[in-house]
C-alpha cells in the first residue's frame, strides 16, 4: 500500500518551470512537494542537456531585459560557480558576461551538471527549512478526480517501483509533456490544429493532425582528442540511418547524416564540424562551437609540465539527431518507450557517422573524426548521452486563453494591420491584460512525425497571459511549464528556457495567492482586483509584465 502525504501544493516536474515554481512558493512561505522523474532538477537546462538559452534580450541587448529577476539570479550564480571553483584566466574571471563554454548560440553556455548543482543550491535553504520537499526519480502514474478537482496523485519511484500518494490543495503541472492531463482527464490538445480553427498562417491546411508533433532529440556531449581513436562499436541500425533521406514537406537536400541541411530561406545550408584544436575560418558558422560548454581558452594552464587544462567539450543537439519517425504523445507507453529508444539509437548512429564517415574540414581525402570521445560525466551519465530526451512539444492545455500565431506571429500581425511598435522593425504581440510575464523567440518548429518540414518564422515580443495557465474546467490545477494553452504553432516560441521559467514562477506566485486569500485560480483570473494583486506581486519580485515600449496593461 502506498504512503499518503497531504501538502498545500504538489509541483509535478522538477524541470525549468518546476524549480521556478518551487522558489516562488517558498518565497511566499508555502510548502510544496516537487517530483521529478530523473535524478536532476532543471529539465532542459540540465537533464535534457540543452543549457544554452537563445533569447536575444536575456542580457540586456539594446538596453532591454526580458527575463525574471530570479532567472537572472540563476545565470549569475552559474558564472559565480565557475569563478569560485575553476582556475580561470584573469580576463575570464573578471568578465561580467563570462560565457564558460563559449558557444555561439547563447551568451551563457555551461556544463549541465553545474546547472543542476546551482539549482540545487538555490533550493537548498528551502529544502532545509521544510518548505520544499524534493522527490527525485518519481513519476506520476495515476490521479483521483472528484467533480472538477484533482484530489490526489500517485507517484512511482522509478528505481524501486514503490508508490506514494499525494493529496494536495493545488497541483502545478510542470512536467515535460503535460503528464497530469491524461491521468486526470484534463482537456488538452496533441499535434497540429487545422488552419481555420484559429486562422493561423502556418496552421495545418485542412485537418487536425495528432501526429504533427515536433521531433524529440537525445543529446550528447563530446570532446576531441586528435591522434587518438575512440571509435565506438558500430550501432545497430547504422546502415539504415546513414542512407536515410527524409521525405519532409518542403524537401531535404540529401541524406540526413550530412553537414548539408535544409536552408530555411534557401534550398540548403552547410554547417561543418571544425573541432578543437583547429579554428573555423573568419565568420564561419560550424557545429563544434555552436553549443560548446567547456572552453579550454578561459582556463589557466598548468606550469608543472602536465597539462590538466580541461579540453573543449561540445553539446550536440542538431537536426541530424531529430527523431521524427514516431510520436511519443497519444500513444501507448510501450510505443512511447520504443520511440525514445529509437531516438537515442539515431543519436548513437550520428555520433558513429561523425567518427567514421563524416567529411572532414581539413582534408578531401580523409573522412571521420575518430578522436571524438563521449563525455557522460558532464551529463551525469555513463554513456555520454543526456539523462532524458529533449522534448520540444508537450500536450497543450485546453485553457481559458489559447495563444495562437495571430497573437505572436510577426508576419500575421503585420498583415492584420497591427502597427509597428516603437522598437525598430517589430510589431507587438497581443496586449494581454492578464499578463504574467513576457518572452521572445522565433516560432521554431522542428520537423514533425507527420513529415512536416521545419517552420522558422519571426515572432513578436509577446506577453504570457494568465488564462493560458488555467484549464477550462478543472479548478485546482495550474500549468507551470511548457504544457500551457498554446497552439501547435505558437508553442514554437513559448518552449524556451526563460519563458518556461517565467511560467513556473507565475504559477507558483498564483498558487501562493490562492492559498493565502482562499481563492481558486479561476477567481483570480476573473476578478480584476485579484488579478491586479497577482500582477503587483509578480512585478515586486522582478517579473516583467510588459515590454518597455508598450503602453501598459
State pLDDT tens for residues 80-129: 999 999 999 999 999 999 999 999 899 999 999 999 999 999 999 999 99
What's the CA gap between 132 and 116, in Å, rounded? 16
Is residue 173 within 8 Å of residue 477, measured between CB atoms? yes
* Cα–Cα distances in angstroms (integers) from residue 549 to residues 173, 428, 443, 482, in the given order: 32, 9, 22, 26
Same domain, 339 and 371: yes
- Reported as a pLDDT band with limits 50, 70 and 90, residue 349 is very high
In a domain, 338, yes or no: yes
In a domain, 317, yes or no: yes
Same domain, 527 and 476: yes
The residue-averaged pLDDT of 34-51 equals 97
What's the CA gap between 28 and 70, in Å, rounded? 14
Averaged confidence pLDDT in the chain: 94
Bridge-partner residues for 88, per DSSP?
299
The residue-averaged pLDDT of 371-392 equals 97
In a domain, 434, yes or no: no
In a domain, 440, yes or no: no
In a domain, 431, yes or no: no
More confident residue, 491 or 5: 491
**Host domain of residue 397:** 3-51+111-192+393-403+466-534
Helix, strand, coil shares, percent, the chain, to 5: 30, 20, 50
Task: Say if residue 176's pLDDT is above 70.
Answer: yes
Task: Say if residue 65's pLDDT is above 80.
Answer: no
Question: CB atoms < 10 A from the CB of 160, how many?
Answer: 8
Residue 231 φ/ψ, nearest 5 degrees: -60, 130
pLDDT at position 433 is 97
- Total domains in the chain come to 2
What's the CA gap between 269 and 318, in Å, rounded? 13
Same domain, 236 and 350: yes
More confident residue, 305 or 546: 546
Same domain, 186 and 222: no
The set of residues, in sequence order, having a beta carbon less than 8 Å from that of 241 and lying 6+ positions away, is 256, 257, 346, 349, 350, 353
- Reported as a pLDDT band with limits 50, 70 and 90, residue 54 is confident
More confident residue, 269 or 222: 222
In a domain, 490, yes or no: yes
Task: Say if residue 264's pLDDT is above 80.
Answer: no
Closest-CA residue to 327 (of 430, 504, 190)? 190
CATH of the domain at 484: 3.50.50.60
pLDDT at position 306 is 54
In a domain, 354, yes or no: yes
Task: Say if residue 420's pLDDT is above 80.
Answer: no
pLDDT tens per residue, range 270-292: 999 999 999 999 988 899 999 99
The cell 573522412 sits on which residue?
367
pLDDT at position 116 is 98
Report percent pLDDT > 90 for the chain.
86
- The beta-strand segments (E) located in 475-518 are 477-479
Report pTM: 0.96
In a domain, 366, yes or no: yes
Same domain, 124 and 237: no
pLDDT tens per residue, range 449-473: 999 999 999 999 999 999 999 999 9
Task: Say if residue 302's pLDDT is above 80.
Answer: no
Amino acid at each position: 500500500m502506498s504512503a499518503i502525504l497531504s501538502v498545500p501544493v504538489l509541483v509535478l516536474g522538477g524541470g525549468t518551470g518546476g524549480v521556478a515554481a518551487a522558489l516562488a512558493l517558498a518565497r511566499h512561505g508555502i510548502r510544496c512537494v516537487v517530483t521529478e522523474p530523473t535524478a536532476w532538477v532543471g529539465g532542459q537546462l540540465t537533464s535534457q542537456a540543452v543549457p544554452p538559452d537563445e533569447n536575444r534580450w536575456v542580457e540586456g541587448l539594446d538596453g532591454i531585459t526580458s527575463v525574471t529577476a530570479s532567472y537572472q539570479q540563476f545565470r549569475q550564480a552559474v558564472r559565480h560557480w565557475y569563478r569560485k571553483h575553476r582556475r580561470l584566466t584573469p580576463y575570464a574571471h573578471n568578465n561580467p558576461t563570462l560565457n564558460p563554454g563559449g558557444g555561439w548560440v547563447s551568451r551563457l553556455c555551461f556544463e549541465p551538471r553545474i546547472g543542476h548543482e546551482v539549482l540545487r543550491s538555490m533550493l537548498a535553504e528551502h529544502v532545509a527549512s521544510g518548505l520544499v520537499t524534493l522527490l527525485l526519480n518519481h513519476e506520476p502514474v495515476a490521479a483521483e478526480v472528484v467533480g472538477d478537482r484533482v484530489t490526489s496523485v500517485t507517484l512511482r519511484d522509478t528505481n524501486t517501483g514503490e508508490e506514494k500518494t499525494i493529496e494536495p490543495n493545488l497541483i502545478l503541472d510542470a512536467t515535460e509533456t503535460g503528464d497530469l492531463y491524461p491521468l486526470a482527464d484534463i482537456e488538452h490538445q496533441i499535434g497540429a490544429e487545422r488552419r481555420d480553427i484559429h486562422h493561423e498562417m502556418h496552421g495545418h491546411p485542412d485537418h487536425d493532425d495528432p501526429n504533427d508533433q515536433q521531433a524529440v532529440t537525445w543529446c550528447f556531449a563530446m570532446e576531441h582528442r586528435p591522434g587518438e581513436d575512440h571509435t565506438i562499436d558500430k550501432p545497430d541500425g547504422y546502415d539504415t540511418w546513414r542512407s536515410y533521406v527524409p521525405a519532409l514537406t518542403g524537401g531535404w537536400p540529401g541524406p540526413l547524416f550530412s553537414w548539408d541541411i535544409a536552408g530555411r530561406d534557401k534550398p540548403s545550408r552547410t554547417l561543418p564540424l571544425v573541432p578543437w584544436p583547429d579554428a573555423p575560418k573568419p565568420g564561419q558558422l560550424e557545429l563544434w562551437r555552436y553549443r560548446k560548454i567547456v572552453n579550454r581558452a578561459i582556463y589557466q594552464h598548468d606550469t608543472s609540465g602536465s597539462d590538466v587544462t580541461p579540453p573543449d567539450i561540445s553539446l550536440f543537439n542538431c537536426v541530424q539527431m531529430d527523431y521524427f519517425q514516431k510520436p511519443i504523445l497519444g500513444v501507448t507507453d510501450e510505443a512511447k518507450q520504443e520511440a525514445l529508444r529509437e531516438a537515442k539509437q539515431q543519436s548513437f548512429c550520428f555520433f558513429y557517422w561523425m567518427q567514421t564517415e563524416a567529411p572532414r574540414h581539413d582534408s578531401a581525402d580523409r573522412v571521420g573524426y575518430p578522436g571524438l570521445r563521449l563525455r557522460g560525466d558532464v551529463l551525469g551519465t555513463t554513456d555520454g548521452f543526456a539523462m532524458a530526451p529533449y522534448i520540444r512539444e508537450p500536450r497543450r492545455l485546453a485553457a481559458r486563453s489559447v495563444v495562437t500565431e495571430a497573437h505572436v506571429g510577426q508576419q500575421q500581425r503585420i498583415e492584420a494591420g497591427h502597427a509597428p511598435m516603437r522598437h525598430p522593425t517589430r510589431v507587438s504581440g497581443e496586449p494581454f491584460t492578464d499578463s504574467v510575464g513576457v518572452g521572445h523567440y522565433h516560432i521554431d518548429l522542428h520537423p514533425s512525425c507527420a513529415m512536416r518540414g521545419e517552420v522558422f518564422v519571426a515572432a513578436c515580443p509577446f506577453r504570457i497571459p494568465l488564462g493560458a495557465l488555467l484549464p477550462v474546467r478543472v479548478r485546482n490545477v495550474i500549468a507551470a511549464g511548457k504544457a500551457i494553452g498554446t497552439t501547435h504553432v505558437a508553442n514554437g516560441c513559448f518552449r524556451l528556457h526563460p519563458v518556461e521559467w517565467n511560467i513556473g514562477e507565475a504559477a507558483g506566485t498564483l498558487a501562493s495567492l490562492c492559498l493565502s486569500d482562499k481563492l481558486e485560480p479561476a477567481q483570480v483570473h476573473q476578478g480584476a482586483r485579484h488579478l491586479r494583486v497577482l500582477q503587483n506581486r509578480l512585478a515586486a519580485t522582478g517579473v516583467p509584465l510588459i515590454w518597455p515600449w508598450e503602453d501598459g496593461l
